[in-house]
């Protein structure tokens, strides 16, 4: 984890703002501040780095150069196979000065070209690569979009880039206007899909892409494409499970390489337990694990996490999250967020990162990414039921209206109501409605909101389950889950590593066939089988609960006052009557509007904060 920022303009650029741009991101990398300018008196580029020292603490300064000095690289993230790549470079006579993975990347680019060098790297990274000979800048994002990078242009054509949007906002020559389509996308999906941001003219580099800039202009190139999962049950199930277990061992072992202590995020579920159990089998000393104890019925997994921790022999820390934490954490988050993100589990993740920081660690490993690759969400099964259910939508709606409303977790009645709301729509729009907050008719959605969803769906294959998994990888995972983790971890100067996001694991999962992942109501079948040899049966077959924050019951209880004046505060984006009705129904227990109200509340708090409209 680091932060990078910079400017670029052929013909000369003002490099003065770069130091302030980088400094605004010092929370991501508190260990070292560096700014370098390129081009002499008539500089055409500058790059700033706020470094979080994880590998080669004493000599891993950035930006790094290849031995010839042609390429300069500033990188946020880690290349996990850098030791192997370094040995290969040294064997071929390349002189390297450090153990830094960034220097390895620079040397790889010099000897292999950018695209081939990226293909050789296993890791998570966002990087700025400057070719000083050709005066060309590349902004590169990793395959799965784990690490962020944003860019825009000033009126004079200057390209400005940064790991977070607040780095761009430190540049004095940029103007800021909300993107109306991005706001509607946020209210629908709970995040702003790439390449959009909440601001007009400000872009995210898409996962697996780079932006290339030189005297000829700005161009985009896709250097890696996520594979669409295939359908059916090809190959032997047991062999797939064996292959997955071996690949996970490699991915976990690579992520254990660091010059600092590493901890593990542990919920009560299978994914984080799998990663922690494999690490415990590799490490000689007990690993350190972190979990949350949530004071709400249906959300707390403290007992399950403790059971797993006891089984693998970890040094376990459990941290409390209670209703009195909701308001201060919301205020703290929205004061530092670049754009709104309505995943309520951000509250829980933020609290967990506080605990990691308090323990003195700055690197942890998580189980993120398994659900989207190995079929963990109930929506995948729901797609198989949607066609016949669409014929009975009216009757189903009337039956659901008679059910009592429960808010203790992601309940069956909540999922059933959301299921009915998406019936009768094209599969990709149905899927996004199941995963999102406000309905199109509630906020007068513009058709442009669907452009990104429809474009991705055309690449997703024909298998019902596989295309939903593909859409989740390219939208919900990269623009929601990973943004949540990155911002919460970045706020505390913590790096989060995720073995399930290794592209070799993603490609393996896609090739197995969705019939091996999901059969009937049984999900994650290959992963559960793969882990059966080192985890108890109860952990391997435990139903998914989800890592969430109980905003539904808390907004009906001790935090109800947070909804005061919400219709007026969000009137520019949500019809006041609809928002007021949602509040009244939620407080009365008539309808569970947790996601609608939370998305509206986060938007209001963000807009009134220092990185919003103020």
14-32 residue pLDDT tens: 999 999 999 999 999 988 8
Three-class DSSP category at 286: coil
Percent of the chain with pLDDT strictly greater than 70: 96
Cβ neighbours of residue 328 closer than 8 Å, sequence gap 6 or more: none
Cβ proximity of 46 and 18 under 8 Å: yes
Per-domain residue ranges for the chain?
A: 2-222, 237-374+474-540
Q: Is the per-residue pLDDT at 402 higher than 90?
A: no
Q: What is the pTM of this model?
A: 0.94
Q: Is the per-residue pLDDT at 382 higher than 90?
A: no
306-327 residue pLDDT tens: 999 999 999 999 999 999 999 9
Strand partners, 71: 131
Give Cα 455 distance to the centre of its chain: 20
419: pLDDT confidence band, cut at 50, 70 and 90?
confident
E strand segments, 199-302: 203-204, 209-214, 217-222, 263-265, 288-294
Burial grade of 273 (CB within 10 A; 0-12, 13-18, 19 or more): buried
Check residue 542 and give its pLDDT. Answer: 84
Three-class DSSP category at 306: helix
Q: What is the mean pLDDT of residues 335-363?
A: 95
553-604 residue pLDDT tens: 999 999 999 999 999 999 999 999 999 999 999 999 888 999 999 999 999 9
Cβ proximity of 228 and 470 under 8 Å: yes
Q: Is the per-residue pLDDT at 60 higher than 80?
A: no
Check residue 580 and give its pLDDT. Answer: 97
Residue 565 to residues 256, 267, 570, 576: CA-CA distances in angstroms? 48, 36, 9, 10
Three-class DSSP category at 515: helix
- The hierarchical CATH code for the domain 237-374+474-540 is 3.40.50.620
* Structure tokens, 466: 């596989």
423-437 residue pLDDT tens: 788 889 989 998 899
* Structure tokens, 283: 């490490």
Cα atoms found within 13 Å of the Cα of residue 576, Cβ hemisphere only: 7
For the chain, report the end-to-end CA distance as a whole number of angstroms.
29
Cβ neighbours of residue 474 closer than 8 Å, sequence gap 6 or more: 207, 226, 456
Q: Is the per-residue pLDDT at 606 higher than 80?
A: yes
Residue 117 to residues 3, 228, 496: CA-CA distances in angstroms? 22, 24, 23
Q: What is the mean pLDDT of residues 75-85?
A: 95
Cβ proximity of 60 and 73 under 8 Å: no
Cα atoms found within 13 Å of the Cα of residue 196, Cβ hemisphere only: 25
Please name the helix (run of DSSP H) or strand (run of DSSP E) that holds residue 166, with its range, or none.
Answer: helix 165-169
Check residue 425 and give its pLDDT. Answer: 83
- The hierarchical CATH code for the domain 2-222 is 3.60.20.10
Cβ proximity of 552 and 407 under 8 Å: yes
């Amino acid at each position: 984890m680091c932060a990078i920022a910079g400017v670029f303009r052929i013909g000369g650029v003002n490099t003065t703002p770069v130091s302030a741009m980088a400094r605004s991101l010092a929370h991501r990398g508190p260990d070292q501040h560096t700014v370098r300018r390129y081009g002499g008196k008539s500089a055409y580029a500058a790059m700033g780095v706020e470094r979080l020292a994880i590998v080669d603490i004493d000599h891993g300064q950035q930006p790094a150069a290849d031995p010839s000095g042609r390429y300069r690289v500033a990188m946020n993230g880690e290349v996990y196979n850098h030791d192997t790549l370094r040995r290969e470079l040294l064997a071929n006579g390349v002189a390297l000065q450090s153990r830094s993975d960034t220097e390895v990347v620079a040397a790889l680019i010099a000897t292999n070209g950018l695209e081939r060098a990226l293909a050789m790297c296993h890791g998570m990274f966002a990087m700025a690569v400057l070719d000083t000979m050709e005066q060309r800048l590349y902004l590169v994002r990793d395959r799965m979009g784990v690490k962020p990078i944003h860019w825009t242009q000033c009126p004079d054509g200057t390209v400005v880039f940064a790991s977070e949007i607040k780095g761009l906002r430190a540049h004095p020559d940029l103007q800021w206007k909300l993107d109306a389509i991005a706001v509607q996308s946020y209210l629908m999906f709970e995040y702003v899909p790439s390449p959009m941001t909440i601001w007009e003219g400000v872009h995210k580099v898409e996962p697996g892409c780079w932006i290339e800039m030189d005297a000829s202009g700005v161009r985009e190139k896709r250097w890696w494409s996520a594979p669409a999962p295939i359908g059916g049950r090809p190959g032997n199930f047991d062999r797939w499970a064996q292959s997955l277990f071996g690949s996970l061992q490699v991915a976990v072992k690579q992520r254990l390489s660091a010059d600092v202590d590493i901890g593990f995020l542990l919920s009560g579920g299978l994914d984080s337990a799998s990663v922690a159990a494999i690490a415990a089998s590799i490490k000689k000393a007990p690993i350190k694990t972190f979990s949350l104890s949530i004071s709400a019925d249906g959300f707390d997994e403290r007992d399950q996490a403790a059971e797993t921790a006891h089984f693998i022999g970890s040094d376990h820390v459990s941290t409390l999250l209670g209703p009195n934490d909701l308001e201060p954490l919301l205020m703290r988050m929205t004061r530092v967020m670049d754009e709104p993100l309505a995943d309520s589990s951000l509250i829980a993740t933020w609290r967990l990162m506080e605990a990691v920081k308090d323990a003195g660690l700055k690197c942890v490993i998580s189980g993120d990414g398994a659900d989207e690759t190995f079929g963990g969400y109930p929506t995948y099964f729901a797609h198989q039921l949607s066609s016949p259910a669409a014929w009975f939508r009216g009757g189903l709606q009337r039956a659901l209206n008679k059910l009592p409303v429960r808010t203790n977790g992601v309940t069956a009645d909540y999922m059933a109501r959301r299921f009915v709301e998406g019936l009768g729509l094209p599969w990709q729009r149905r899927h996004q409605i199941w995963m999102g907050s406000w309905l199109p008719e509630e906020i007068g959605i513009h058709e442009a909101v669907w452009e990104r969803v429809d474009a991705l769906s055309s690449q997703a294959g024909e298998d019902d389950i596989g295309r939903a998994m593909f859409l989740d990888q390219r939208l919900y995972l990269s623009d929601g889950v990973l943004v949540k983790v990155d911002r919460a971890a970045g706020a505390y100067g913590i790096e989060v590593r995720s073995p399930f996001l290794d592209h070799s694991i993603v490609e393996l999962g896609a090739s197995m066939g969705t019939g091996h992942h999901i059969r009937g109501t049984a999900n994650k079948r290959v992963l559960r089988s793969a882990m059966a040899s080192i985890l108890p049966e109860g952990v391997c077959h435990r139903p998914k609960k989800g890592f969430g924050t109980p905003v539904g019951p808390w907004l009906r209880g001790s935090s109800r006052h947070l909804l005061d004046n919400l219709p007026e505060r969000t009137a520019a984006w949500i019809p006041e009557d609809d928002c007021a009705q949602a509040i009244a129904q939620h407080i009365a227990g008539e309808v569970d509007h947790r996601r609608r109200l939370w998305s509206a509340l986060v938007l209001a708090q963000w807009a009134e904060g220092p990185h919003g409209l103020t």
